[in-house]
Structure 1
Amino acid sequence: MGEIFKKRLLLAILMCSLFPLNAQKKTFLEGYIIEKSGDTIQGLIKDRSQEPFVSLYNKVRFKKIDHSRTRKYGPSDILGYGYHGQNFASVPFREESTFFKFRYYSDIATPKTFLRVIQRSKKLVYYEQLVEDDDSSYLDAVPFFHRPNSNEMVRVTQGIFGLRRKQLKAYFSDCPSLLEEITNPETSIKTVPELYEFCIAHCFK
């Protein structure tokens, strides 16, 4: 019995010693950061807590492949980061509300935040803002369009209510094709990616 107990104790100690390594692999993912100089640095990155109660970090955790030291970077410290095919950019972003009307600003004086880049062109960028759902502890993605020459963004959808047609028409007031399309009750545009592709094809010639 003494020998069996020793073997079991040794196995338990081994499992405990391996757990931190396994946990680290699960929480940190292979990715990169983009420094202000424009240099891309490969390493291990983490931007949120583990499931099931996910919480976004204000600053991403990052460490180089050959270093154990973890550093924290906020939106004002780097140009962006990414991992597993997801790319986040540091973007000026501010929400203002007046009598339940919301506007979204993106100018030099606006504090920066990390937004996920879904599609990008020189004329229009499709971002998503990740937000925490207080009820479910899951993350929601709120879509925004930004014309790089504009100091404002437009939120594209309003939850289950679909496209924010009034706001989109104001933001793309110089695009008659889009105004006609989203005014038409029989429009074939149902999703945000479809709307983005329509804008690229018809609004920037």
Structure 2
Amino acid sequence: MIQIFKRPVLLIILFLGLYSMNAQKKAFNKGYLVKQSGDTIQGLVKDRSTGTFVSLYTKIRFKEAGSSRTKKYGPDDILGYGYHGQNFVSMPFREEIDFFKFRYYTDSRAPRVFLKVVRKSEQLIYFEQLFVHEDSSYLDSTPFFYRPDTSELVRVTQGILGFKRKRLAEYFSDCPALAQELYGDDRTIGSISDLYEFCLERCIANQ
């Protein structure tokens, strides 16, 4: 009786092993990382777990092209990484809370985090900070605009409440056209991408 089931059991174990190896291989994406020296290294990148319950890694996993060895890199170790058209940079990031008012800053004293670069120009960058909801393991992001000539980032939306109009108007206080658009009756901006384009064309370009 033992001999009858021995071969099927071995086949199942072999199949599960191959499936596990393939799953691990698929979890890595063809991408790159940028070293502290500024050199770009091609390879395979993995920055989150796979499966039903997703979790983001504090340190990415990276296999340099031609190597099977996996190394871990945190925001303090590299300048950035990317894969599948998604690009992330290491950036000092600090959150301050004062009477339920949130402010976000970047300075050399702040701990570094990975931020996703959605859109970028010399005068304005659209970042996203990825996070996972604790109750649902759902991957989400917080959008920020950043003017490199300042030390502050502004959060663009407040969840389902929409644009943070007051904070955006304050951040772009040198652009009356934006305040008029945010508070006017004939608003044309319907998305963060629309807002980014508006800021580039009506605020940044005029300076």
Q: TM-score, normalised by structure 1?
A: 0.93
Alignment of 1:1-205 (within 5 A): 8-9=8-9, 11-205=11-205
Distance in 2 separating the partners of 1:163 and 1:6: 63
* 1:55 alignment partner AA: S
CA displacement at 1:7 relative to structure 2: 5.4
Measured against aligned partners, the alpha-carbon deviations of 1:147-193 in whole angstroms (never above 9, x if no partner) come to: 00110000000000000000001000001211211121321111100
Distance 1:50 1:6 in 2: 32
Letter in 1 for 2:110: T
- Structure 1 gaps of 5+ residues are none
Answer with 38-47 or 141-150: which moved more: 38-47
Structure 1, 75-84 or 63-72: larger mean CA deviation:
63-72
CA distance in structure 2 between the partners assigned to 1:92 and 1:13 by the alignment:
47
Residues in 1 aligned to 2:113 and 2:175: alpha-carbon distance in whole angstroms: 29
| Residue 3 of structure 1, CA deviation | 9.3
The root-mean-square deviation of aligned C-alpha atoms, in Å, is 1.8
TM-score, scaled to structure 2: 0.92
Partner SS state of residue 141, structure 1: strand
SS of residue in 1 equivalent to 2:78:
coil
Specify every segment of 5 or more residues in structure 2 that has no aligned partner in the other structure, as ranges. none
Instruction: For residue 107 of structure 1, report the CA deviation from its aligned partner.
Output: 1.7
**CA shift for structure 1 position 110:** 1.8
**Residues in 1 aligned to 2:185 and 2:165: alpha-carbon distance in whole angstroms:** 11
* Deviating 4+ runs (over 4 angstroms): 1-7
> What residue identity is the alignment partner of 2:165?
R
Cα distance in 2 for residues equivalent to 1:20 and 1:55: 19
Aligned length: 205
Percent of aligned positions with the same letter in both sequences?
Answer: 58
Distance 2:135 2:16 in 1: 34
1:47-88 CA deviation, whole Å, 9 max, x = no partner? 111121111111111111321211111111111111111111
SS in 2 for 1:199: helix
Question: Structure 1 residues 75 and 5 mapped into 2: Cα distance closer, same or farther (>3 Å)?
Answer: same
